[in-house]
Amino acid sequence: MSQADTRALIERYFAAFNASDFDAMDELLHEDVAHDINQGGREIGRDAFRRFNAMMSRHYRETLRDIEIMVSESGVRAAAEFTVDGQYIATAEGLPPADGQHYSLPAGIFFEIDDGRISRVTTYYNLKQWIAQVS
């Protein structure tokens, strides 16, 4: 894939995320997508990714802004840095109680592209900073 095609693919991913259009996100993913969860494990496959998004949407309402996308010359890898603006709407297991707290923190995602689809999503943010904001 060219750099321009990869950039457009990642832009569509973020647009779908910000629209809470998880079906549109799903269409951009490789069937065997590897999803590395921040400070967690790795899940494989679109079904696991859908379940993760469903769980996240029960606990958080988020939008991403100030998105900066970087793409390798080969178009096989990309990264994005952005700010997450969110609201903690339902308590997640092992985390502080939710009471509609708002938060804003920097985050990043690394992507791999295979056959025109996203084959890896690796997300990073500072969990301690998030906990401090919602506590």
Q: What is the CATH number of the domain that holds 110?
A: 3.10.450.50
Average pLDDT value for residue range 46-63: 96
- Is the confidence at residue 54, as pLDDT, over 90? yes
- Is the confidence at residue 39, as pLDDT, over 90? no
Domain count, the chain: 1
Q: Buried b / exposed e across 68-99, counting CB within 10 Å, b at 16+?
A: ebebeeebeebbbebebebebeeeeeeeeeee
Structure tokens at 111: 């992507």
Contacts (Cβ under 8 Å, ≥6 apart) of 88: 59, 60, 98, 99, 100, 101, 102, 103, 134
Give this prediction's pTM.
0.94
Range of the domain at 49: 3-134
Query: pLDDT value at position 100?
Result: 97
Query: pLDDT value at position 21?
Result: 95
